[in-house]
Structure 1
Amino acid sequence: MRVQLLGPLLISCADRQMRVSARKPRQILALLLLKHSRAVPMAALTEELWGGHAPKTARASVQLYVFQLRKNLAEVTGRSMDAVSSEMLRTARGGYEFVGDLSRFDLRAFHRLERSGTAAIADGDLVTAVQDFREALSLWRGPALADVEPGPGIRAEAAGLEQSRSTMLNHRIELDLRLGRHREILAELTDLAMHDRFHEDLHAQLMIALYRSGHRTGALEVFHRLHKNMVRRFGLDPSPQLHRYYHAVLTSDSELDRMPVLQLPGEVRVRLP
């Protein structure tokens, strides 16, 4: 069975796809998958569906939704309702849990590659680290659970996943820069900076990639554009750290060939003099 959360919610088995169109069952399914192998109490499920305004029939409604999900899972997997109830979507400790071997679960694969890439950085193997991070990021097909209307639990989990994705992307770019791949990532960096006009680390990475690619004037223009946007929107200058990168580009400082922008997992923070 294949389970995908990093984008629209999809569950499929062979050529069959599980379809859960009703909003509340989809919310329950999404939350149980996010908490895979951990029991989700009935109170958390009712909070997810109704916030602080659960009706008196909330428990019975959740039980009905879970029955419907079990039926859907039985249909898509070809297993019996008893097997689904005991081996997949189980009743547990006053709530429910989704268990079973999800070897094709994109969220699990993402976290596995995240751990593997971080371990490779600690071992000094930046090539393997960037490969792991690239593979992990390729699992994303859009915003996490893009077609699920979130309650408080899903909203918090999805926000955490999006932050992990953003952090990994920044680290992957940093790894590419350290491996001398500034030309290969220049178009990607330019596009990212256009969509996130106030992300200082991203603009610093773009400045360095441009400078190392022989586009010193372009690197200076990146700083000036960011400065203009920040003053106009927030009335603030870019950080002292970004000013240091700007000065280094302005003076063609040879240290730009080695300057890091981001601290990678496990590293001691490196600051510019």
Structure 2
Amino acid sequence: MYISEYPVGAGPDRRAAPESGSRHPEYLDCGVLGPLRIGTGATPGTITVPPKIRSVLAMLLVHTDQVVPVSALMRELWQEHPPASGLRTLQTYVLNCRKLLVGLTGLPAPVITQDVLVTRAGGYGLNGAHVRLDWLRFQRLAEHGARVLATGDDLGGIDLLEEALGLWHGAALADVPAGPVIDSKRRLFEESQLGVIGSLAEARIRAGLHQEAITQLAAATSEHALHEGLHAHYIRALALGGRRAEALGVFQALRARLVSEIGIEPGYPLQQLQLTVLNSGPLAM
């Protein structure tokens, strides 16, 4: 599937922009890190629309400032078996999305059509000039946090990573029907979240904040019961916090799950970590 990188607000087929004195749309505060949320306030609310309209909105949001081809939208909605009326039905879904945005912003339908949810050659797109998306903010905070940690400022980096994780409200796109693109985006978002959780745990351990690391990792390893990297952070935090017996118990429980569910032993790094804990050796990061 090809998603055009051509900005939705530019290009040879761009419609005329509103005149300088016209009213411009408010920012749409949108969320995909949890149930789909759209609003014009600081705390966007969940929306009540039929599932396929929700899918169209999600596709547009996760490709903000890109043209999403009609073919990609139809494949997301109906996989390889679109109905004969699929194109007309998709146009109706887009019209309903625009009506939703009219209701949220109070702006006239022509403004929404011309400057917010726009039609481009072969597809549709959301104009990022009017959209604030939690996923993009999460990325910026995570990248900023990583840069700050790289300077040796663990406490500053911890604050930024905590703020990034605070944008999550459950599983990404939790109430959006499964489709090939949405599923791939869910995996991308989740892997990014897990990476930040790991970086935050490492920073807290370095800063001596073992209990904070333990509390978060207890929840994360419960949700991701086979994730070896998170368990390694958890074992290290417990051991450094003086709870070596619990750390060994976490290893044994993970090993039992790995063997019984997928038939493999923990990886070499985890096995070495277990030996270090058993021998009361130094627990380097």
Per-residue CA distance 1:146-194 (angstroms, 9 max, x = gap)? 1111221111112211111112112211111121111222233233334
Per-residue CA distance 1:210-267 (angstroms, 9 max, x = gap)? 22122222222222333333333344332221121122112221x21xx11xxxxxxx
Determine what percentage of the aligned residue pairs are the same residue.
34
Per-residue CA distance 1:77-129 (angstroms, 9 max, x = gap)? 01111110111000112100001434642122111112211222333332222
Query: Is the contact made by 1:31 and 1:154 (CA closer than 8 Å) also made in structure 2?
Result: yes
- Mapped to 1, the partners of 2:178 and 2:220 lie a distance apart of 27
Q: Say what the alpha-carbon RMSD is for the aligned residues.
A: 2.1
User: Is the counterpart of residue 150 in structure 1 residue 210 in structure 2?
Assistant: no
One-letter code aligned to 1:165: Q
- Mapped to 1, the partners of 2:52 and 2:223 lie a distance apart of 33
CA drift at 1:48: 0.9
- Where in structure 2 are the equivalents of 1:165-244 lying within 5 Å? 165-244=193-272
Report what 1:263 is aligned to: none
- Mapped to 2, the partners of 1:3 and 1:167 lie a distance apart of 23
- Mapped to 2, the partners of 1:37 and 1:103 lie a distance apart of 9
CA drift at 1:202: 2.1
> Are the structure 2 counterparts of residues 18 and 130 from structure 1 closer, same or farther at C-alpha, using a change threshold of 3 Å?
closer
- Segments of 5+ residues of structure 2 without an aligned counterpart are 1-27
Q: 1:110 aligns with which of 138, 150, 154?
A: 138
Report what 2:101 is aligned to: 73
- In terms of mean alpha carbon deviation, does 33-42 or 124-133 score higher? 124-133
- Mapped to 2, the partners of 1:16 and 1:231 lie a distance apart of 43
- Mapped to 2, the partners of 1:221 and 1:18 lie a distance apart of 40
One-letter code aligned to 1:5: V
User: Is the counterpart of residue 64 in structure 1 residue 92 in structure 2?
Assistant: yes
- Mapped to 2, the partners of 1:144 and 1:195 lie a distance apart of 14
Report what 1:25 is aligned to: 53
CA drift at 1:42: 0.8
> Are the structure 2 counterparts of residues 235 and 116 from structure 1 closer, same or farther at C-alpha, using a change threshold of 3 Å?
same
Query: Is the contact made by 2:31 and 2:44 (CA closer than 8 Å) also made in structure 1?
Result: no
> Are the structure 2 counterparts of residues 195 and 78 from structure 1 closer, same or farther at C-alpha, using a change threshold of 3 Å?
closer
- In terms of mean alpha carbon deviation, does 57-66 or 29-38 score higher? 57-66
TM value normalised by structure 1: 0.86
One-letter code aligned to 2:36: L
- Mapped to 2, the partners of 1:235 and 1:71 lie a distance apart of 52
One-letter code aligned to 2:170: G
Q: 1:6 aligns with which of 33, 37, 45?
A: 33
Q: 2:123 aligns with which of 79, 95, 104?
A: 95
- Mapped to 2, the partners of 1:36 and 1:229 lie a distance apart of 40
Query: Is the contact made by 1:17 and 1:76 (CA closer than 8 Å) also made in structure 2?
Result: no
Query: Is the contact made by 2:37 and 2:44 (CA closer than 8 Å) also made in structure 1?
Result: no
- Mapped to 2, the partners of 1:158 and 1:235 lie a distance apart of 26
CA drift at 1:20: 4.6
- Segments of 5+ residues of structure 1 without an aligned counterpart are 261-273
- In terms of mean alpha carbon deviation, does 147-156 or 27-36 score higher? 147-156
TM value normalised by structure 2: 0.83
CA drift at 1:45: 0.9
> Are the structure 2 counterparts of residues 221 and 246 from structure 1 closer, same or farther at C-alpha, using a change threshold of 3 Å?
same
CA drift at 1:145: 1.3
